[in-house]
């Protein structure tokens, strides 16, 4: 089962995803997409996320190797989150590889991503390119997901594809 959890910044999407994963079969692996830098404030945010997770959850820091990490990990995985991965500059081939890795897994997968369609119009070409790349990636993962949720202000809404 592939579950996609979308939301804006500070919407509570990671917390919702962690609750969903907590109901799934162990072992659980948290697949981090952000590469930790020397940014102290960012490191503190990452540490807060780590402290919130059960100690028996394993962590894999994937970076651009996300498709390979997803394919190689058994059990339940929580991929958090696709925005930082897009910031690293994955190619369309890596997007295809990620979707293939997700669909070929035998364990459950919960994927967290930022919803970019509800924000302001980026004022720079780089910002627009990022928004477009993440939007296309979100579409691709949603297409292979069995279910999807959007999180707004900590509240969850199940999405469907009836249209």
49 is catalytic: yes
Tokens 């919407």 belong to residue: 11
Active-site residue, selected from the candidate residues 12, 22, 46, 49 = 49
Q: Which tokens sit at 144?
A: 């292979």
Quick one: which of 105, 83, 96, 110 has its CA closest to 140? 96
d(CA 155, CA 163): 23
CB of 57 closer than 8 Å to CB of 29: yes
Quick one: which of 2, 4, 1 has its CA closest to 138? 4
CB of 80 closer than 8 Å to CB of 19: no
Q: 128-149 burial, b if ≥16 CB within 10 A, otherwise e?
A: eebbebbbebbebbbeebeebb
Please list the active-site residues.
49
């Amino acid at each position: 089962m592939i579950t996609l959890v979308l939301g804006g910044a500070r919407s509570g999407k990671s917390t919702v995803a962690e609750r969903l994963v907590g109901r799934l079969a162990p072992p659980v692996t948290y697949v981090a997409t952000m590469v930790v830098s020397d940014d102290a404030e960012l490191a503190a945010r990452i540490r807060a996320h780590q402290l919130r997770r059960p100690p028996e959850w394993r962590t894999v820091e994937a970076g651009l190797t996300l498709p390979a990490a997803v394919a190689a990990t058994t059990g339940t995985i929580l991929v958090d989150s696709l925005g930082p991965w897009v910031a690293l500059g994955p190619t369309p081939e890596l997007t295809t590889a990620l979707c293939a890795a997700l669909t070929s897994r035998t364990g459950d997968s919960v994927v967290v991503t930022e919803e970019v369609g509800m924000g302001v119009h980026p004022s720079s070409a780089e910002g627009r390119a990022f928004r477009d790349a993440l939007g296309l990636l979100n579409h691709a993962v949603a297409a292979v997901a069995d279910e999807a949720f959007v999180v707004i202000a900590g509240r969850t809404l199940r999405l469907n594809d009836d249209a």
